[in-house]
């Protein structure tokens, strides 16, 4: 089979990219689950769509908006189909209900999202009983499958999914003993600390971690301890908590096995592909968007940057590339993460044909009254004030591209406003 | 003076609210929704309710639902408990009313997705 654009993944990133690409080209979405929507389908809480729709929607409602547009658009959707291989020539091998499918595409959009960090990835000691779940698995069990993971719960990690699950488990009748966070600050958005923990009187223990899992067949309890500044458990602070379930909300990792297979260069800090301002990766014609590039806090941002990926994948596939559509790579401007910046996406500017460039960044340290400073070859060209910057909350800054003209390097710093 | 974090959007403004001469003065909010939230939180706190109900004959055993507007914060648990007794039949359309005037709050519960038959 041959087509113009193949979008891998039918979550929010894939849906937005496919819709944009379909304005220029024929599009196929490949989705491994039995329906489109991705993780939004299990995020039954509200809080989605604030920026794009100016109202609070639940995950399924946000997904529905895009799914219904896809249904009207003529985009071909292959569900229950997993991509097994892609190569640098944009050949795709997938397995689905009708067996193995081979597809040749002119452009690919990677929209596989991310996976949860597991017990093995954080080297959690102890026995291996039933009752240890990642927060997303627990969420799927409770909200879609109709199964309660346990009765007395300890949550390790205070990322947003963990906080949302603390509330959800409580409402469904479980007892959440507490949320334990190894860092001295919470991992999730402040509003989720308020409406998920404070509203239900669930304690949050910062600078604490789980040091042991106890139980043979089923979790019987966990040991928790306070940690020092270098995150090592402090002797004498260890205590046992009786529980039947441990839920892990210990971070997300972009899912890039396919990207690596295609020979795409991966940024070690974001764990996602390096992308330029069109969301094109290091392999020509392969684009990436959403959580496969870097983990976002807010789905609206995923939609916005995925529309860019879809737009340029569509233009690329429709054969207008390099000939008056401004897709030539005229530049190779590096975007440098400067002072107090962990990473910036996009990492490169290669086209300089867009009116506005939006940079997404994460800071290393919390700062009050901060200034996001963009400079070109040492000269400050743009500044944006931020009342507060925190590592768990992504910072977004949009700059008129004309300000960056002629630069050979763009640097982003986050400074204190007074000093 | 009360310190509040706005839950209206992911920005999460840190606000202070102060009762003064019968009115409430709010500061720290970046938009009017923050002020409205703070005043509501000081006088009659309300929350959106999201949960699931059983659905028979659908592609999944559960249907996600939400309140069509906020309900009193203190009523959330009771309403979720009440809704756990409900069973609906597929097909369901997004926006269909699943329960009217839940626990006498005056608020309806609606389906937040469609559920086709298996």
pLDDT of amino acid A189: 86
Query: From edge to edge, which strands make up the β-sheet containing A395-400?
Result: A341-345, A356-363, A395-400
Considering only A290-294, A374-378, B77-81, which range has the smallest mean pLDDT? A374-378
Measured between beta carbons, which residues in chain B are less than 8 angstroms from residue A61?
94, 112-113
- Looking at the structure, do residues A317 and A379 belong to the same domain, yes or no? no
- Whichever domain contains A212, its CATH number is 3.50.50.60
Which of A305, A328, A351 is a domain's end point?
Answer: A328
- Answer yes or no: do A50 and B7 touch at CB < 8 A: no
3-state secondary structure A356-392: EEEEEEEECCCEEEEEEEEEECCEEEEEEEEEEECCC
Any CB–CB contact under 8 A between A171 and chain B?
A: yes
Cβ neighbours of A4 (radius 10 Å):
20
ipTM: 0.91
Residue A388 has a pLDDT of 87
User: What residue numbers bound the domain in which A261 lies?
Assistant: 1-116+251-328
In this predicted model, what pLDDT tens digit does every residue of A276-302 receive, in sequence order? 999 999 999 999 999 999 999 999 999
Choose the weakest-confidence range: A107-116, A206-215, A384-393, B51-60: A384-393
Facing A143 at nearest CB: one of B7, B48, B64: B64
How much is the CA Rg of chain A, to the nearest whole Å? Answer: 22
pLDDT in tens, A139-186: 999 999 999 999 999 999 999 999 999 999 999 999 999 999 999 999
Task: With cut-offs at 50, 70 and 90, classify the pLDDT of residue A322.
Answer: very low
Domains in chain B and their CATH numbers? Answer: 2-43 (no CATH), 50-111 (3.10.530.10)
Please list every residue in chain A whose beta carbon sits closer than 8 Å to the beta carbon of residue B80: 171-172
**Of the candidates A216, A250, A284, which is a domain's last residue?**
A250
Question: In this complex, do A34 and B48 lie within 8 Å of one another by their Cβ atoms?
Answer: no
Q: What is the pLDDT of residue A327?
A: 67
What is the count of residue pairs from A and B with beta carbons less than 8 Å apart? 83
Distance CA A248, CA A155 (A): 6
Total domains, chain A: 3
Same structural domain, A255 and A308: yes
Q: Residue A372: beta bridge partners? A: A384, A414
pLDDT at A392: 84
- Yes or no, beta carbons of A298 and B5 under 8 Å apart: no
pLDDT of residue A324: 39
Query: Is B113 an interface residue toward A (CB < 8 Å)?
Result: yes
Looking at chain A, the whole-number percentage of residues with pLDDT higher than 70 is: 98
Question: Do you find a cis peptide bond into A346, omega within 30 degrees of 0?
Answer: yes
Same domain, A259 and A303: yes
Tokens at A261, concatenated: 């297979």
Same domain flag for A191 and A111: no
Q: Are residues A67 and A213 in the same domain?
A: no
Question: DSSP of A24-60, one letter per residue?
Answer: TS-EEEE-SSSSS-GGGGG--SEEE-TTTTSS-EEHH
Which residues in chain B touch residue A50, judged by CB atoms under 8 angstroms apart? 9-10
- The token pair at B16 is 């202070």
Nearest to B112 among A61, A195, A393 (CB): A61
* pTM of the predicted structure, to 2 decimals: 0.94
Average predicted confidence (pLDDT) for chain A: 94
Q: What is the pLDDT of residues B4-32, one digit of tens each?
A: 999 888 778 889 999 888 899 999 998 99
Q: Per-residue pLDDT averaged across A34-48, rounded? A: 96
């Amino acid at each position: 089979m041959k087509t113009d654009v193949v979008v891998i993944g039918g979550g929010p990133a894939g849906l937005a990219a496919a819709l944009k690409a379909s304005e220029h080209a024929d599009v196929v979405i490949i989705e491994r689950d039995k329906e489109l929507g991705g993780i939004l389908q299990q995020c039954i809480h509200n809080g989605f769509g604030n920026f794009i729709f100016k109202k609070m929607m639940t995950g399924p409602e946000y997904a529905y908006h895009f799914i219904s547009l896809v249904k009207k658009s003529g985009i071909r959707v292959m569900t229950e189909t997993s991509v097994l291989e892609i190569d640098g020539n944009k050949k795709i091998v997938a397995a689905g209900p009708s067996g193995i499918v081979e597809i040749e595409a002119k452009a690919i959009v990677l929209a596989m999202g991310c996976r949860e960090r597991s017990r093995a990835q954080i080297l959690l000691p102890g026995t291996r009983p039933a009752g240890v779940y990642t927060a997303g698995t627990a969420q799927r069990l409770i909200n879609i499958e109709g199964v309660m993971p346990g009765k007395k719960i300890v949550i390790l990690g205070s990322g947003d999914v963990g906080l949302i699950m603390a509330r959800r488990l409580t409402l469904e009748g479980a007892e959440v003993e507490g949320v334990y966070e190894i860092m001295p600050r919470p991992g999730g958005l402040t509003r989720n600390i308020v409406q998920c923990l404070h509203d239900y009187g669930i304690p949050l223990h910062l600078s604490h971690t789980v040091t042991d899992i106890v139980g043979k067949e089923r979790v019987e309890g966990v040991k928790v301890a306070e940690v020092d500044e270098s995150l090592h458990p402090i002797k004498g602070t260890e205590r046992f908590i009786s529980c039947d379930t441990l839920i892990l909300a210990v971070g997300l990792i972009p899912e890039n096995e396919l990207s690596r297979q295609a020979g795409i260069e991966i940024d070690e800090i974001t764990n996602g592909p390096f992308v330029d301002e069109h969301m094109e990766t290091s392999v020509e014609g392969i684009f990436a968007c959403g959580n496969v590039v870097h983990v976002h806090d807010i789905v609206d941002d995923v939609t916005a940057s995925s529309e860019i990926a879809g737009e340029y994948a569509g233009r690329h596939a429709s054969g207008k590339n390099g000939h008056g559509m401004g897709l030539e790579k005229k530049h190779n401007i590096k975007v440098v993460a400067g002072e107090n910046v962990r990473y910036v996406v996009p990492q490169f500017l290669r086209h300089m044909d867009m009116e506005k460039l939006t940079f997404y960044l994460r800071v290393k340290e919390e700062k009050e009254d901060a200034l996001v400073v963009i400079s070109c070859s040492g000269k400050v060209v743009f500044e944006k004030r931020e009342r507060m910057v925190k590592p768990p909350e992504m910072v977004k800054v949009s700059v008129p591209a004309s300000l960056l003209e002629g630069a050979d390097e763009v640097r982003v710093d986050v400074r204190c406003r007074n000093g | 003076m009360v310190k509040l974090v706005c839950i209206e959007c992911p920005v999460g403004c840190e606000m202070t609210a102060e009762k003064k001469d019968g009115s409430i003065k709010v500061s720290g909010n970046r938009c009017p929704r923050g002020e409205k939230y703070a005043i509501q939180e000081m006088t009659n706190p309300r929350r959106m309710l999201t949960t699931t109900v059983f659905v028979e004959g659908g592609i999944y055993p559960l249907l996600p639902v939400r309140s069509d507007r906020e309900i009193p914060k203190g009523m959330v648990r009771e309403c979720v408990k009440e809704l756990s007794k409900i069973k609906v039949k597929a097909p369901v359309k997004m926006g269909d009313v699943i329960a009217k005037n839940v626990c006498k709050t005056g608020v309806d519960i609606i389906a937040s997705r469609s559920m086709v038959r298996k």
